[in-house]
Amino acid sequence: MRIIKQLLLGAVGLFVLVFLFSLLLPSQVRISRAVLIKQPEDTIAARLQNIRDWSNWNALLQLDAGAEFKYDGDSMVSWTSQQKKESTLNRILLHPMKDTVIPFVMNLFGQKELQCGFSLSKFEGVGGKATQLEWWILEKTGWTPWEKFYGIFADRLKGPVIEKSLDQFRAHLEQP
């Protein structure tokens, strides 16, 4: 009985310690990747505004090979995965003066809604003029310890997919 009491007390103590440590972790995570493209900002912005073209370069839309995309105008695409989970990508329309930031909301496979966006900025370097395209995702992790610990690994999970998408976008944009 004494051993069981010590084990139970140790487990509760460990849980409290993990919970207190999780309070120090942020409740949101920002993931971003950037790529330089030798095209003007307006050309890149125009291609990003065309959501019907995203399935040609966006690796997130290519995750489910058998998906059939449904478009609602020029700002929203939805699809159902083979596991029957709904996904949506909704681009937020902005005033034309704001073409350097293109925000959108993403809900993949019925999980939490993600605030996302593309930022465009001019870049002049040794190789000449280019545009830096940054894709960022802002994800709220929640308050529970396991959700906050997930935030530590979120960049490693989503970052490679974002990088692949940006590389495919650059290749798609530079096609003749």
0.85 cut: is pTM over it?
A: no
Of 84, 86, 110, 169, the residue nearest 134 (C-alpha): 169
Most confident of 72-76, 91-95, 133-137, 153-157: 133-137
Q: Is the pLDDT of residue 64 over 60?
A: yes
- The reported pLDDT for the residue numbered 56 is 86
Q: Is the pLDDT of residue 8 over 70?
A: yes
| Superfamily of segment(s) 27-173 | START domain (3.30.530.20)
Integer angstrom CA distances of residue 59 from 4, 33, 65, 161, 163: 51, 14, 11, 6, 9
Q: Is the pLDDT of residue 129 over 50?
A: yes
- Amino acid (1-letter code) at residue 25: L
What confidence tier does 17 reach under pLDDT thresholds 50, 70, 90? confident
Chain-centroid distance of CA 122 in Å reads: 22
Domain regions of the chain by residue span: 27-173
Q: Is the pLDDT of residue 131 over 80?
A: yes
Residues 23 and 43: their CA atoms lie apart, in Å, by 44
